[in-house]
Structure 1
């Protein structure tokens, strides 16, 4: 992971796309993937032991999401191959709503009970992508306006310009201040 770590807090599919940064890929090893999943606690669970093949499966889903997202947010149709790949990833580990009794009430939890750890993880991420791509809000997804940033985000406020005010926003403001107050050469 980079020294700043990945951005989190966007829809899960955007958080996944944002693991591919201007400074490199944040998901290169099983440990990188585990670390990112820990940051996503509450939204997706650690599927057990992860392998290099699992990392590759997640990265493939990420590439399909990124290509489809880039087209859909601009109002054009996504590549059919990318949609088909995301559908295949979901079918590899179907989800069920598992019912249980907690002593007072019936509870329902979505679970993926078949497939390898990587297939289950890729299926969850492909499902998150399907939800995002089908949501009309996908048209609002923006790229960070910082020159050296490739992150995407779903703005909660229409004037939001950066993926993170603390990261890119501060850097842009400091650079702008420096240019305005730079002593003459």
Structure 2
């Protein structure tokens, strides 16, 4: 199953579950997703273990619930807000002074296990999305069998991917317009 990435990180997290696939069900699938996010996340060197997937799935559910509330302009479930805030506290970032020859630089570090550092980064991405004034513009794909969300760069965008869902819809419409009429035979 081809996962779409490139939306805000919190949307990409929610989109790890499609109608017929969950990238958080197997560690191999989740590690593939993480590799696609490597430019946006600080990742461990070792593959993410299957034992930690349940914590990521729980956070994804809370992010999805809070996001849906924001899209509907209703109060978010208090449990979801609490869970995101709890994840933010697991491995907060801190600056660390680092010598670079005769000068110094600053790097950001986090303490904690690989899963706590990842959960904190994903929770921070959720905060970024949920506090963005454009959160109300997040849309659901209009393809009938798709549940993916996207933040449209163009107001006329209707599908999560013009090359996947968009193409399927256009092909179906074309077929409906050009299918032979067998009722006259």
Q: TM-score, normalised by structure 1?
A: 0.92
Change (3 A) 1:10 1:109: farther
Q: Deviation of residue 103 (structure 1)?
A: 4.3
One of 73, 77, 80 as aligned partner of 2:78: 80
**Residue equivalent to 2:4:** 7
**Residue equivalent to 1:43:** 40
Whole-Å separation in 1 of the counterparts to 2:36 and 2:26:
16
Matches within 5 A, 1:55-66: 55-66=53-64
Q: Contact 1:37–1:45 (CA<8 Å) still a contact in 2? A: no
Whole-Å separation in 2 of the counterparts to 1:146 and 1:12:
22
| SS in structure 2 at match of 1:171 | helix
| SS in structure 1 at match of 2:35 | helix
Whole-Å separation in 2 of the counterparts to 1:110 and 1:180:
57
The C-alpha deviation readout for 1:52-91, integer Å capped at 9, x for no partner, is: 2321111111000001101111211110110100110111
**Residue equivalent to 1:19:** 16
**Residue equivalent to 1:162:** 159
- Which sections of structure 1, spanning at least 5 residues, go unmatched? none
- The CA RMSD measured in Å over matched residues stands at 1.5
Q: TM-score, normalised by structure 2?
A: 0.92
Change (3 A) 1:77 1:177: same
Q: Deviation of residue 95 (structure 1)?
A: 1.2
Q: Deviation of residue 30 (structure 1)?
A: 2.1
Count of matched residue pairs: 181
The C-alpha deviation readout for 1:6-54, integer Å capped at 9, x for no partner, is: 1100000000000010112112122222111100121013224422232
